[in-house]
């Protein structure tokens, strides 16, 4: 005898939560991730939302794997660095691009350095959270949800979408560019967002007829995945319509290239993803929150070349992106921010690499930024009990400044608390 699950559409959200989100198994493996949001929203939430007062845009760049902060912002004058990293320190110090007497940027961040010289780069040092975990996946979830206690399941940007924007009917308000599945930061069962891996391939082979067939096929689909499927198709279809317009009116004004030298090849096409982000921004699609990823930062091994190459890749893609936005007169609206689940161990290992660490600097780039260094300089001699850098700025302070200061969103509501200010914005709107 089969029991039908007699729930109406609004209750399905609760059902999904109960069945898919909170009912995790004994080990806690992957527990706590919300279902892909792209799913749900349109089927479930018809309510209009208000909350954000401006049309500013945020682009988060995830440096996945744990970016080495000490090779990104190099403490060039600190002799302790050479004790900790006898093999790695020499070249990174001698080649660094000095910002002041104490710090220099990785030598491959020359484009970022020229933006720094124009006052468009803020670097927040020593960003982390209490009692850091050294697990990639636990720490990624903490950064994605904005919750070190690991109770929150929705992503901080997903919650922002859900509470502060009307994404219903506007699936491009939030977009993961260059990905196949939604990053945890953007996930929220109440938010709609689009995932586009490669714009050139984003369309139905067979065109509008197939699109219509699939649209008819994916309506009212039963089962726990039904709304996920239906919304994914509806979102894709709406986005395709938008992209048909935007693609024809967008002309890139910078040289984006993913042909870069790397020790081993990258899974992500960062430049193409940022070019798609630029297209969505400059053609007025209404996109507000974008997320792109560059992987490969888990440099346990031969870090010297690998990390330098990744810095170069990041630099060229971000430089092209900024240049393109500026040429389209959109740079004033767009804040670019990097994040990574942790930094790396100050002491190098036997493999010419570094193991998982804790606090690290974040880069904030763009016209909205008040250039300079923020946060306390982390001490290389006062490491914590695990041999890692102590944090001085809670990562949620950075989120708060982005949410309230840049997007004009209700940060305390989204993050569940208020945090110390870190004032890296030129003209914060609502902190």
CA dist 408 → 154, 395, 405 (Å): 20, 18, 6
CB 157 within 8 A of CB 174: yes
Q: What is the CA radius of gyration of the chain?
A: 22
- Could you tell me which stretch among 98-106, 175-183, 361-369, 396-404 binds other proteins (CB under 8 A)? 175-183
State the minimum distance, in angstroms, from the CB of residue 32 to other proteins. 11
Using rule CB under 8 A, residue 50 touches other proteins:
no
Q: Is 58 in the site for other proteins (CB under 8 A)?
A: no
Pairing relationship of beta strands 344-348 and 354-356 according to DSSP bridges: antiparallel
Q: Shortest approach of other proteins to residue 330 CB, angstroms?
A: 24
Q: Which of 67, 163, 194, 246 binds other proteins (CB under 8 A)?
A: 194
Contact status: 46 vs other proteins (CB under 8 A): no
Q: Give the HSE-up count for residue 252: Cα atoms under 13 Å, Cβ half-sphere.
A: 16
- Residue 225 touches other proteins, criterion: CB under 8 A: yes
Which residues, 6+ apart, have CB-to-CB distance to 306 below 8 Å? 262, 263, 264, 296, 299
- Window of 206-214, 314-322, 331-339, 364-372 that interacts with other proteins by CB under 8 A: 206-214
Q: Which of 206, 245, 255, 332 binds other proteins (CB under 8 A)?
A: 206
Give, in degrees to the nearest 5, the angle at Cα 73 between 423 and 265.
115
Q: Is 390 in the site for other proteins (CB under 8 A)?
A: no
Residues 8 to 27: which contact other proteins by CB under 8 A? 8-9, 12, 19-21, 23-27
Residue 159, phi then psi, degrees to nearest 5: -65, -35
Of the candidate residues 220, 261, 382, 427, the single one contacting other proteins (CB under 8 A): 220
Q: Out of 230, 315, 324, 394, which residue is the one contacting other proteins (CB under 8 A)?
A: 230
**Which of 21, 429 has the CB closer to other proteins?**
21
Interface residue with other proteins among 286, 352, 372, 416 (CB under 8 A) is 352
Give yes or no for residue 198 binding other proteins (CB under 8 A): yes
Smallest gap from residue 191 Cβ to other proteins (A)? 13
Structure tokens, 64: 């996945």
- Considering only residues 277-296, where is the footprint of other proteins by CB under 8 A? 295
- Taking CB under 8 A as the criterion, the residue among 147, 315, 355, 394 binding other proteins is 355
Q: Which neighbouring-strand residues pair with 425?
A: 369
Strands (E) located in 82-207: 97-98, 103-105, 121-128, 174-177, 194-196
Residues 78-107 touching other proteins, rule: CB under 8 A, are none
Among 48, 151, 201, 261, binds other proteins (CB under 8 A): 201
307-346: contacts with other proteins (CB under 8 A) = none
Count residues near other proteins (CB under 8 A): 92
Inter-CA distances, 424 with 121, 209, 337, 390, Å? 9, 50, 11, 21
Residue 339, SS3 per DSSP = strand
Q: Is 247 in the site for other proteins (CB under 8 A)?
A: no
Contacts of 295 (CB under 8 A, 6+ apart): 64, 65, 266, 267, 268
Q: Does 267 sit near other proteins (CB under 8 A)?
A: yes
Give CA–CA dist 190/166, Å, rounded.
Answer: 11
Q: Shortest CA distance to 225 belongs to which of 8, 16, 11?
A: 16
Q: Does 253 bind other proteins (CB under 8 A)?
A: no
Other C-beta atoms within 10 Å of 232: how many? 22
**Degrees to nearest 5, angle at CA 103 with 97 and 107:** 25
| Residue among 142, 232, 215 at smallest CA distance from 181 | 232
The smaller minimum CB distance to other proteins, of residues 232 and 398, is found at 232
Segment near other proteins (CB under 8 A), from 220-228, 244-252, 282-290, 375-383?
A: 220-228
The binding track of 122-151 with respect to other proteins, each residue x by CB under 8 A or -, is: -----------xxxxxx-------------
Q: State which of positions 24-43 bind other proteins (CB under 8 A).
A: 24-30, 35-36, 38-39, 43
The binder of other proteins chosen from 202, 247, 258, 372 (CB under 8 A): 202
């Amino acid at each position: 005898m089969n029991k039908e699950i007699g729930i109406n559409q609004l209750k399905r959200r609760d059902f999904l939560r109960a069945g898919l989100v909170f009912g995790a198994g004994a080990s806690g493996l992957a527990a706590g991730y919300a279902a892909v949001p792209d799913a749900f929203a349109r089927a479930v939430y018809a309510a209009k939302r208000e909350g954000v007062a401006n049309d500013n845009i945020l682009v988060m760049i995830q440096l996945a794997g744990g970016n080495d902060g000490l090779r990104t912002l190099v403490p060039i004058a600190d002799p302790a660095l050479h004790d900790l990293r006898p093999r790695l320190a020499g070249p990174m110090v001698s080649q660094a691009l000095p910002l002041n007497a104490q710090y220099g940027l990785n030598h491959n961040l020359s484009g970022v350095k020229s933006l720094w010289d124009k006052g468009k780069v803020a670097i927040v040092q020593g960003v982390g959270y209490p009692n850091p975990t050294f697990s990639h996946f636990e720490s990624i979830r903490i950064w994605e949800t904005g919750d070190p206690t690991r109770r929150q399941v929705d992503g901080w940007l997903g919650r922002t979408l859900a509470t502060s924007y009307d994404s219903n009917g506007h699936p491009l308000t939030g977009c993961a560019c260059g990905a196949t599945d939604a990053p945890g930061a953007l996930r929220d069962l109440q938010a709609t967002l689009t995932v586009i891996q490669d714009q050139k391939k984003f369309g139905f082979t067979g065109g509008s007829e197939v699109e219509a067939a699939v649209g008819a096929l994916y309506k009212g689909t039963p089962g726990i995945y039904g709304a996920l499927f239906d919304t994914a198709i509806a979102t894709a279809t709406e986005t395709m319509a938008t992209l048909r317009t935007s693609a024809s009116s967008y002309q890139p004004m910078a040289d984006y290239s993913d042909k870069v030298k790397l020790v081993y090849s990258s899974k992500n096409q960062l430049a193409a993803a940022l070019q798609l982000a630029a297209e969505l921004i400059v053609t007025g699609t209404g996109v507000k929150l974008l997320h792109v990823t560059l992987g490969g930062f888990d440099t346990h091994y031969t870090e010297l070349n690998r990390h330098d190459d990744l810095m170069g890749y990041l630099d060229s893609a971000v430089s092209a992106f900024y240049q393109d936005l500026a040429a389209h007169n959109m740079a004033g609206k767009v804040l670019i921010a990097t994040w990574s689940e942790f930094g790396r161990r100050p002491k190098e290992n036997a493999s010419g690499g570094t193991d998982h660490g804790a606090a690290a600097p974040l880069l904030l780039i763009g016209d909205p930024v008040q250039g300079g260094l923020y946060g306390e300089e982390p001490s290389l001699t006062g490491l914590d009990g695990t041999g890692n850098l102590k944090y001085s700025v809670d990562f949620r302070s950075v989120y708060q400044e982005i949410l309230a200061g840049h997007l004009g969103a209700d940060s305390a509501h989204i993050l569940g608390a208020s945090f110390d200010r870190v004032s890296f914005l030129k003209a914060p709107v609502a902190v």
